[in-house]
Chains A and B, each alone.
Chain A
Amino acid sequence: MTYPCFRFLPTCLWAALVIPISLFSSAALASTHEFTLGNGLRLIVKEDHRSPVVISQIWYKAGSIDEVNGRTGVAHVLEHMMFKGTKKVPGGEFSRLIAAAGGRENAFTGQDYTAYFQQLHKSRLPLAMELESDRMRNLVLTEEEFSKEIKVVMEERRLRTDDQARALVHETLMATSYQSHPYRHPVIGWMNDLQNMTVEDARQWYERWYAPNNAVLVVVGDVDPRQTFNLARKYYGQIKAKPVLSLDQRKPQIEPKQLGVKRLTVKAPAQLPYVAMAYHALSLSKPETDWEPYALEMLAGVLDGNESARLNKVLVREQRIASTAGASYDSTARGPAVFYLDGTPSEGKTVVDVEAALRAEIEKLVRDGVTEEELARVKAQVVAGHVFQLDSMFFQAMQIGQLESIGLSYRDVDTILRKLQAVTAEQVREVAKKYLKDDNLTVAVLDPQPLEQKAPAAVPAGLRH
């Protein structure tokens, strides 16, 4: 549930699309083709001929997971700097050229990757490739541009984290749940690291990770695979490979075993208290033989996969302990995964009540298991979601890129869909029992602080506190 950082504020559509991608939405692969250039660049082309448009995404296997202490946030800062120009295409020209071609573009940085994309009419794909390949190698980083852009990134951090009580809770929860794994650092970086970052930090990052043999190019749309390959070869083919660590050469950084429940409190301006719980879990590594990650996905589905799922039904509707309650798990990550639960107490209830109610649901699940009916309902959504996803080229490209950039393959999508449908009720109970236990757990509580500076003008009529 770590939200990627965007180069600029995405439209609602993008935000909605990017964040919740999980195994619940897989795509058919009937018309997907893969190529590898001589320099190691992988190209995945998926045909979708419904509309004369195309999306081109380049995914670099470098995200906040690859950062080191003192330089957190550099992956995302470099993403911003990638729009500052090359010798051939000076600052700002990239965006102007794409806009003038009727294109839309953006970029985002996650824990495991950094990606850039353009959506445009299919006839403009060469332009997108020309510009994107140029900045893979020829980026010009200047002190002057860096000094302005780092301020923009700090504003982004203030907007999205420092002034958002629940974002602070999640940031602190991750920083506590993980004691050594780099997932403990926020993608946007710690403010002090941003304040002390230099253009040289960005340059080193670029030199180290931006290479064709550390990237995957994903093209989805009304294109011919062979022609697309020829285009990619033309624009990306001459870029030399670099000695980049492959994913399996990078340090594993295995998180030490947690030895007992951890608890923390965040004080921040807000009205409602809030509790978020994170259990260490595992992510998908061998799609064909793993079973636990699929069972964890189904577990999240049974708890919170639809309006009738357990947490909403029991905590919100029946017991009225919480005004919201949720569960989530994303099995696709390069590093480990976390199983989340969270909730907002309803009027008169406390975070203690909500935590107890969430735990009671887990205990009930471990004791009694799930019903076949519930499981079938979640599977129906897996199947429908798989079809619905085909309506969005962006979604289809996202799924391919995410899998490829964490060391899995777009081909695994079929396997994943099949294995999700094969999960049994007993397997769901087993993973609940194995992973959702106190020694794996970190609990974060928001202690809401009053807005003491608040002027009377902003107090709404009828506010009774």
Chain B
Amino acid sequence: MLRHLFFLLLGFYSQWAYATLPIQHWQADSGARVYFIESRDLPILDVSVDFSAGSSTDTPDKSGRAAMALHLVNLGAGGLTEDQLTKGFADVGAQLGAHFDQDRAGITLRTLSSARERGRALELFGKVIQHPDFPEYVLGREKARVIAGLKEADTKPGNIADRSLMKMLYGTHPYGLRGSGEIESVSKLTRQDMIDFHRFRYTAGDAVVSIMGDVSRDEAAAIAESLTRDLPRERRGQSIPEVTPPAVGTQRIAHPATQSHIQLAYPGIRRDDPDYFPLIVGNHILGGGGFTSRLMEEIRQKHGLAYSVHSSFTPLKEEGPFEIALQTQKEQSEEALSITRKVLADFIAGGPTEKELIEAKKNIIGSFPLRIDSNKKILGYLAMIGFYDLPLTYLNDYVKAVSKVTIPQVTQAFQRRINPSGMVTVVVGLPDTSGK
């Protein structure tokens, strides 16, 4: 983005030009933290407002509350009905979106930056964020829809595997709660739950407002203020318990599908993890790097066992999951599982080769410009940097940190953090033993 603002950073691979983003940051009078990049290339404005209101704020009996509150904010707000709101956004061609995970709930707006469209869209957006009405009849209807979705999800092998895996991995830790909740808990959610939750969790002190696009700094400041000034001022934050190692085990669940869904997991990394870069670079080699990873090579290229196989870290406030997932014809699921375990064990025991490390770095660093080649992608980074309170130079530092990772760092970080014989494993869809 912003070609004229690119500057050269002579990094590990000096043939590349690296960008840093001219992020402006301040605190609004409301208490909200604001992250802004001015970009006049396109007549578009993107805004994201994020709160510590993810699924880890739920409890087992209120599981699904955070997701429901986020889902309902634009279905009646500031005295306007859902019909008035949805028409209002549609009339100016504006698009609402949402981001939701264990830590975070975010609401996004994309609008044309022309005065009429922008003004109308932001006016409605301000109501949605600050004054959701949570109408009783809307809640009742949406609960029924979510429950229908949960019932459907509970029949799908991938969803069954996800859910079982997270329970095994996290036990009673709030990261083990399913974001959309459970049928039992969702059915009991009340309007008061929504109101209380919004009042407690959607505060200006906790809000991160990210703004990207065709407005001036003064305009951005006014926008940030108008989106948060009616919220409670408190800065509540959220303390999430530490994650402890899971009880090792393999759960096998029958399912009529033709394929087995195989998933393995272990506690992974935190956003501010000292092992962040060695683990991210190592994972790229193990199973994160598109078509050239070890898992892809062994499982798909050499054995033709699966269409998709990958490993991933999901960094969160506390340790997010390290996961490996693949799907294969039921009859060969044990073979695929044992190859997967072997690839993982070998990687952790022996670490990457020199060649693998160099190629992984070349890809991660060389593809850096692709990460920030659109306003939408940049908005995502602004929101993440703001929410996790990362330095404004985060993207810049990222490249440098990746370039410094060494083989011993990767090997030791994996050996310290991932116990290949302590993984929790789920296989949904079992070989037919009836001789059919």
Is A457 in contact with chain B by the CB < 8 A criterion?
A: yes
**What 0/1 pattern do residues 129 to 158 of B give for CB contact below 8 A with A?**
000000000000100110111111011010
Residue pairs across A and B with CB atoms within 8 Å: the count is 241
A270–B148 Cα distance when bound, in Å, is 12
Interface residues of B in 160-209 (CB under 8 A from A): 160, 163-164, 182-185, 187
Known contacts A306-B86, A453-B256, A50 near B3 by CB under 8 Å: yes
Interface residues of A in 288-337 (CB under 8 A from B): 305-309, 313, 316-317, 320, 323-324
Contact assessment for B306 and A451 in the assembled complex, using a CB-CB cutoff below 8 Å: no
Contact assessment for B304 and A148 in the assembled complex, using a CB-CB cutoff below 8 Å: yes
Contact assessment for B44 and A95 in the assembled complex, using a CB-CB cutoff below 8 Å: no
Give, as a whole number of angstroms, the nearest-CB distance from A374 to chain B.
Answer: 9
Is A244 in contact with chain B by the CB < 8 A criterion?
A: no
Interface residue tally for chain A (C-beta within 8 Å): 84
A316–B302 Cα distance when bound, in Å, is 48
Known contacts A271-B152, A346-B144, A152 near B367 by CB under 8 Å: no
Q: Within the complex, which residue of B258, B297, B328, B362 is in contact with A101, where a contact is CB–CB below 8 Å?
A: B362
Stretch binding the partner chain, chosen from A353-361, A382-390, A406-414, A428-436? A382-390
Residue of A nearest to B13 (CB): A102
Known contacts A155-B327, A307-B90, A269 near B257 by CB under 8 Å: yes
Known contacts A155-B327, A320-B141, A346-B145, A384 near B255 by CB under 8 Å: no
Contact assessment for A463 and B374 in the assembled complex, using a CB-CB cutoff below 8 Å: no
Known contacts A102-B367, A272-B151, A52 near B3 by CB under 8 Å: yes
Task: Determine the chain A residues whose CB is within 8 A of the CB of B117 once the complex forms.
Answer: 384
**What 0/1 pattern do residues 50 to 77 of A give for CB contact below 8 A with B?**
1111000000000000000000000000
Contact assessment for A272 and B184 in the assembled complex, using a CB-CB cutoff below 8 Å: no
Q: Within the complex, which residue of A9, A163, A383 is in contact with B257, where a contact is CB–CB below 8 Å?
A: A163
**What 0/1 pattern do residues 353 to 374 of B give for CB contact below 8 A with A?**
0000001001101111110111
Give, as a whole number of angstroms, the nearest-CB distance from A375 to chain B.
Answer: 12
Task: Determine the chain A residues whose CB is within 8 A of the CB of B144 once the complex forms.
Answer: 320, 323, 346-347
Contact assessment for B87 and A346 in the assembled complex, using a CB-CB cutoff below 8 Å: no
Is A380 in contact with chain B by the CB < 8 A criterion?
A: yes
Task: Determine the chain B residues whose CB is within 8 A of the CB of A462 once the complex forms.
Answer: 182-185, 187
Stretch binding the partner chain, chosen from B92-100, B221-229, B315-323? B92-100
Contact assessment for B83 and A313 in the assembled complex, using a CB-CB cutoff below 8 Å: yes
Task: Determine the chain B residues whose CB is within 8 A of the CB of A449 once the complex forms.
Answer: 256
Contact assessment for B3 and A162 in the assembled complex, using a CB-CB cutoff below 8 Å: no
Is B401 in contact with chain A by the CB < 8 A criterion?
A: no
Q: Within the complex, which residue of A49, A101, A156, A346 is in contact with B307, where a contact is CB–CB below 8 Å?
A: A156
A377–B255 Cα distance when bound, in Å, is 45
Known contacts A155-B327, A159-B307, A317-B82, A101 near B141 by CB under 8 Å: no
A377–B282 Cα distance when bound, in Å, is 49
Contact assessment for A155 and B307 in the assembled complex, using a CB-CB cutoff below 8 Å: yes
Is B383 in contact with chain A by the CB < 8 A criterion?
A: no
Contact assessment for B290 and A8 in the assembled complex, using a CB-CB cutoff below 8 Å: yes
Give, as a whole number of angstroms, the nearest-CB distance from A426 to chain B.
Answer: 22
Contact assessment for B367 and A155 in the assembled complex, using a CB-CB cutoff below 8 Å: no
Is B112 in contact with chain A by the CB < 8 A criterion?
A: yes
Q: Within the complex, which residue of B15, B154, B253, B376 is in contact with A392, where a contact is CB–CB below 8 Å?
A: B376
**What 0/1 pattern do residues 128 to 139 of A give for CB contact below 8 A with B?**
000000000000
Is A364 in contact with chain B by the CB < 8 A criterion?
A: no
A306–B367 Cα distance when bound, in Å, is 35
Is A278 in contact with chain B by the CB < 8 A criterion?
A: no
Stretch binding the partner chain, chosen from A116-124, A208-216, A235-243? A116-124
A152–B326 Cα distance when bound, in Å, is 12
Contact assessment for B369 and A49 in the assembled complex, using a CB-CB cutoff below 8 Å: no
Contact assessment for B292 and A99 in the assembled complex, using a CB-CB cutoff below 8 Å: yes
Is B329 in contact with chain A by the CB < 8 A criterion?
A: yes
Task: Determine the chain B residues whose CB is within 8 A of the CB of A123 once the complex forms.
Answer: 15
A377–B372 Cα distance when bound, in Å, is 32
Task: Determine the chain B residues whose CB is within 8 A of the CB of A381 once the complex forms.
Answer: 90, 93
Contact assessment for A49 and B3 in the assembled complex, using a CB-CB cutoff below 8 Å: yes
Contact assessment for B152 and A159 in the assembled complex, using a CB-CB cutoff below 8 Å: no
Task: Determine the chain A residues whose CB is within 8 A of the CB of B95 once the complex forms.
Answer: 384, 388
Contact assessment for B155 and A271 in the assembled complex, using a CB-CB cutoff below 8 Å: yes
Task: Determine the chain B residues whose CB is within 8 A of the CB of A461 once the complex forms.
Answer: 182, 184
Q: Within the complex, which residue of B91, B182, B251, B301 is in contact with A460, where a contact is CB–CB below 8 Å?
A: B182
**What 0/1 pattern do residues 278 to 317 of B give for CB contact below 8 A with A?**
0000000000011110001100111111111010000000
A104–B371 Cα distance when bound, in Å, is 11
Known contacts A151-B305, A377-B91, A457-B253, A270 near B372 by CB under 8 Å: no
Contact assessment for A451 and B155 in the assembled complex, using a CB-CB cutoff below 8 Å: yes
Q: Within the complex, which residue of B44, B145, B362 is in contact with A100, where a contact is CB–CB below 8 Å?
A: B362
Known contacts A52-B3, A96-B359, A384-B93, A163 near B305 by CB under 8 Å: no
Q: Within the complex, which residue of A51, A154, A307, A324 is in contact with B86, where a contact is CB–CB below 8 Å?
A: A307
Contact assessment for A383 and B328 in the assembled complex, using a CB-CB cutoff below 8 Å: no
Q: Within the complex, which residue of A99, A305, A457 is in contact with B289, where a contact is CB–CB below 8 Å?
A: A99
Known contacts A271-B155, A383-B93, A391 near B44 by CB under 8 Å: yes
Give, as a whole number of angstroms, the nearest-CB distance from B427 to chain A.
Answer: 11
Task: Determine the chain B residues whose CB is within 8 A of the CB of A316 once the complex forms.
Answer: 145
Task: Determine the chain A residues whose CB is within 8 A of the CB of B263 once the complex forms.
Answer: none
Task: Determine the chain A residues whose CB is within 8 A of the CB of B9 once the complex forms.
Answer: none
Is B259 in contact with chain A by the CB < 8 A criterion?
A: yes
Is B248 in contact with chain A by the CB < 8 A criterion?
A: no
Known contacts A158-B329, A380-B93, A385-B93, A51 near B367 by CB under 8 Å: no
Residue of A nearest to B39 (CB): A50
Give, as a whole number of angstroms, the nearest-CB distance from B188 to chain A.
Answer: 10
Is A344 in contact with chain B by the CB < 8 A criterion?
A: yes
Is A126 in contact with chain B by the CB < 8 A criterion?
A: no
A96–B297 Cα distance when bound, in Å, is 11
Is B42 in contact with chain A by the CB < 8 A criterion?
A: yes
Contact assessment for B291 and A99 in the assembled complex, using a CB-CB cutoff below 8 Å: yes
Task: Find the residue from B44, B152, B302 having the highest chain A CB count within 10 A.
Answer: B152
Task: Determine the chain B residues whose CB is within 8 A of the CB of A103 once the complex forms.
Answer: 363, 366-367
Contact assessment for A306 and B305 in the assembled complex, using a CB-CB cutoff below 8 Å: no
Task: Determine the chain B residues whose CB is within 8 A of the CB of A324 once the complex forms.
Answer: 145
Interface residues of B in 73-126 (CB under 8 A from A): 82-83, 86-87, 89-95, 110-112, 117
Known contacts A148-B303, A271-B155, A454-B254, A52 near B366 by CB under 8 Å: no
CB<8 Å pairs between A and B, sample of 6: A52-B17, A100-B366, A148-B302, A162-B259, A347-B148, A387-B43
Q: A104-B290, A384-B112 known; 19 other A-B pairs, CB under 8 Å?
A: A8-B307, A52-B17, A100-B362, A100-B366, A102-B16, A104-B370, A119-B370, A120-B366, A120-B367, A155-B327, A155-B329, A162-B258, A163-B259, A320-B141, A384-B95, A385-B93, A452-B256, A457-B164, A460-B163
